[in-house]
Structure 1
Amino acid sequence: MAELPHAGVVTAIQPQKRRKNRLSVHIDGKFAFGVDADIAQQFELRPDKVLGPAEIKKILGAEEVKRALERAYRFLARRARSKKEMQRRLAEYQYPPFIIEQVIEKCESLGYLDDRAFAFQYASDRLLSRPMGKRMLLRELHEKGIPEDIAEAAVEQAFAKTSEEQLVRELSNKRLPRLKNLPEPRARQKLVSFLRSRGFDWEIIQSVMLELF
């Protein structure tokens, strides 16, 4: 947070011309800070009110939380996020940890951040858009900060109606036409490399290769 304005008596509160929901607060005849109208109402700002350093700090802190929260809402409007993703994203904008913590708590209380719901939806969507092995899907969830138990449950749920072996078989059948002009050993090698890059275990890949070659 920037250096605090000096304490004193509020001498004027004026609407800002370019931002209708913003107010300019003047202390002792000089501009002190801008504030959201809701924050001004929350702290009962009015002319002749005496503001000490502690209250100014609270006002500006509430103002920063509101800005961070609005940014968080914009992030969430684009796509769902895990708590860890939101923390990282807000940290990129230099919000201090205590501000980020308040934003996370607010988003959780509103149901906008829910790691369990996020993990289950992510795992299901990911398996449809980019089929992969359980190991890779689990790693992606870990990278997004999903706790181990939730990540494992989400992966198991995503695979409830299919199996890694079935996905390997489907991916192989789609991939093989691209490899038809290659010698069989080379085609097999490229197919295995592709499947390994999707996080499938060798035992499962080998089982399907025995069917195909």
Structure 2
Amino acid sequence: MSRITQLKAQKNRKWVNIFLDGTYFTSLELITVAKQGLKVGMDISQSEFNQLLRKHDAEKLLFRAMNFLSLRPRSEKEVTSYLQKKWTPKLSKEDYRTRVRGVVEKLKKENLLNDSEFANWWVEQRLTFRPKGKIALHKELQQKGIGNDIISEVLASLDEVEAAKRVVEKKSRIFKGQSSMQARRKLIAFLQRRGFSWDTIRQIVDESL
């Protein structure tokens, strides 16, 4: 059993240095110290303090994940990769990975992390601001760690021809003043770069030129 002999606020006032039996032990956020009711003179066992540290680290990790999610929706892979980059030698990599998995599972349970909803959001954003074909969208979603079953379901309802028409309307000026053959080659290359299927490209080219 150890005794808390000093609680010393750091310069930024958000963290507190904790001394056990006159020796510096660790630092905790002020809000955690207050929430746990830690006071000078309090007796606490090593196991109790270790449990408190684990809880504090888990809350800190969850807070980081929530901040990351507040910027825009994320996939499970994105959140996992982001948190993994925050690893420090304070914990073994295996222990840290276990904590990250715990945070990810908690977010999924609260429906704050949902790969199906993320995939739908991603496609909607692309169609609104930068229309792309199914080939490109499939690749992007795979890079985000989305499973093929979800990708297939999300892209099944996508009207690729309509998306391609919108792209061509926005870029029609680049084909002005060119011969039919030049315009045709440029349009085909452009739509290929945007990830549209050959069937869609052929239909759009035939209708547009």
TM-score, normalised via structure 1 length: 0.81
CA distance in 2: counterparts of 1:67 and 1:195, whole angstroms: 45
Q: Does 1:193 align with 2:189?
A: yes
Q: How does 1:109-188 map to 2 (within 5 A)?
A: 109-157=109-157, 159=158, 163-188=159-184
C-alpha offsets along residues 59-101 of structure 1, whole Å, 9 cap, x if unaligned?
Answer: 3222222222221121111111111100011112226211211
The answer on whether the counterparts of 2:131 and 2:166 sit within 8 Å (CA) in structure 1 is: no
CA distance in 2: counterparts of 1:175 and 1:18, whole angstroms: 53
Unaligned runs of 5+ in 1: 1-6
Q: CA deviation at 1:45?
A: 4.1
- Residue 4 of structure 1 corresponds to none
Unaligned runs of 5+ in 2: 89-95
Q: Percent identity?
A: 28
What SS does the aligned partner of 1:11 have? strand
- Residue 93 of structure 2 corresponds to none
Does the C-alpha gap of structure 1 residues 187 and 105 become closer, same or farther in structure 2, counting only changes over 3 Å? same
CA distance in 2: counterparts of 1:155 and 1:192, whole angstroms: 22
CA distance in 2: counterparts of 1:43 and 1:177, whole angstroms: 65
Q: Residue 80 of structure 1 is aligned with which of 73, 76, 79?
A: 73
The answer on whether the counterparts of 1:12 and 1:26 sit within 8 Å (CA) in structure 2 is: yes
Residues paired across the two proteins, number: 201
C-alpha offsets along residues 28-69 of structure 1, whole Å, 9 cap, x if unaligned?
Answer: 1122111235544676644241432x4443332222222222
RMSD: 2.4
* Amino acid aligned to 1:123: V
Q: CA deviation at 1:205?
A: 0.9
Q: Does 1:28 align with 2:21?
A: yes
